[in-house]
Amino acid sequence: MTFANDLDRFVPKSAASFSLERNQQMRDVVFLLMPHLSMIAFSSAIEPLRVVNQLTGQMLYRWHLLSQDGQNPVCSNGVELVVAGGPRAIDRTALLLVCAGITPKSLASKQTLSWIRGHRRRGGMVGGICTGAFVLAEAGLLENRRFTVHWENRTGFLENFPDLTPTTHIFEADDGIITSGGGNGSMDMMLSLIAADHGEALARAAANMCIHGTIRNEAVDQVFYREEGASIPDAPKLAAIIQILDQNLENAIDVPFLAAKVGLSRRQVERLFRTSLGVSPAVFYERRRLERARSLLIDTPISISEIAAACGFRNAQHLSQRFDRHFGTTPHRLRRASLGK
């Protein structure tokens, strides 16, 4: 049954309109908001639902905000969101989306994981936004499924779940499980859902209202290999060197080895880095190692000594010294902060 206050809440007035046959099937979308969730990923997912209701004058979607403890969560940008409470019974036709962010590891309680598994077991759709795939993986729902996670947290995900490999795409949809890498990729994922539910024309109209331009499909890659210097003449060789470095963060690689790999002299490689990136290969390489260490500190429970070894530092003390110099904090302080302590 639809109540008047539901229409007021979920179907705002609009000057723009889109003609759609009446009596369309309504879908409930339940957002489980985890601590420190990404606000841009969440808003990019919920706004297209509001827009299609507004355009059609129909309640095609209702959205419900929950948190695992029933308390209002705070986003990674410090904004507090108001929720209706904690997990509760939801219809099997609802879409349950886990919205996470910068501290994805060890977020979900056993009760929350059981609730998510139960919805999926009853045939319900589930999904993860930004780093929500961490929770879906903990719930055991991603085996033999295509899924994705934000590129920044991909390293940490692979350490936590070595048997699962996320794609590098902006979103994925696989047999009732949908995931987005976050950011405005969440909007593409939801527009794809709207197209499946009510047609591509409505999805395009919603994209126009959001000034989103072209709706991207799930085959579009996130940019997690950052090919710095892409506008310079030797960009392909620079990109190749960066990829070699990223694949060998545990082991020391010297400039002559890199030069031989891409057909340049040592001096040419040094010049290429300094003219395009403003630093030497050695400085760039250490930054990449420190970035990986930071990701592992935030996303995994691996000890700092193990992280030091995995990122090519002599020991934990060496990592701490270089880390503090680069980030202005120590690995111990960063880990405590990421755990909210």
Assigned domain for 162 exists: yes
Q: Based on the fold, state whether residues 172 and 308 are members of the same structural domain.
A: no
If you search the block for the tokens 């020991």, which residue do you land on? 315
What confidence category does residue 31 fall into, taking pLDDT thresholds of 50, 70 and 90? very high
If you search the block for the tokens 């490999």, which residue do you land on? 165
Other Cβ atoms closer than 10 A to 299: 26
Q: Based on the fold, state whether residues 201 and 101 are members of the same structural domain.
A: yes
Q: Which of 209, 227, 259 is the last residue of a domain?
A: 209
* Enclosing domain of residue 321: 235-338
Q: Based on the fold, state whether residues 114 and 254 are members of the same structural domain.
A: no
Assigned domain for 227 exists: no
Phi-psi region of 23 (alpha: psi -120 to 50; beta: other; left: phi over 0): left
Residues 305-314 have a mean pLDDT of 94
CA distance readout (Å), 106 to 5, 236, 307, 334, 336: 38, 39, 18, 16, 14
Q: Which residue has the higher pLDDT, 7 or 228?
A: 7
> How far apart, in whole angstroms, are the C-alpha atoms of residue 37 and residue 247?
29
Residues 216-237 have a mean pLDDT of 65
CATH number for position 48: 3.40.50.880
pLDDT at 5: 63
Domain count of the fold of the chain: 2
CATH number for position 264: 1.10.10.60
Q: Which of 194, 209, 224 is the last residue of a domain?
A: 209
Q: Based on the fold, state whether residues 148 and 34 are members of the same structural domain.
A: yes
If you search the block for the tokens 């879906």, which residue do you land on? 136
Q: Is the pLDDT confidence value at 247 over 50?
A: yes
Q: Based on the fold, state whether residues 144 and 186 are members of the same structural domain.
A: yes
Q: Is the pLDDT confidence value at 338 over 70?
A: yes
pLDDT at 283: 92
Residues 129-145 have a mean pLDDT of 96
CA distance readout (Å), 239 to 27, 167, 252, 269: 45, 20, 19, 12
Q: Based on the fold, state whether residues 200 and 262 are members of the same structural domain.
A: no
Q: Which residue has the higher pLDDT, 44 or 230?
A: 44
Q: Based on the fold, state whether residues 191 and 303 are members of the same structural domain.
A: no
pLDDT at 15: 79
Assigned domain for 35 exists: yes
Q: Is the pLDDT confidence value at 301 over 50?
A: yes
* pTM strictly above 0.85: no
pLDDT at 237: 87
What confidence category does residue 227 fall into, taking pLDDT thresholds of 50, 70 and 90? very low
Q: Based on the fold, state whether residues 102 and 23 are members of the same structural domain.
A: yes
pLDDT at 263: 93
Of the candidate ranges 86-100, 156-170, 221-235, 281-295, the one whose mean pLDDT is the lowest: 221-235
pLDDT at 16: 83
Q: Based on the fold, state whether residues 199 and 137 are members of the same structural domain.
A: yes
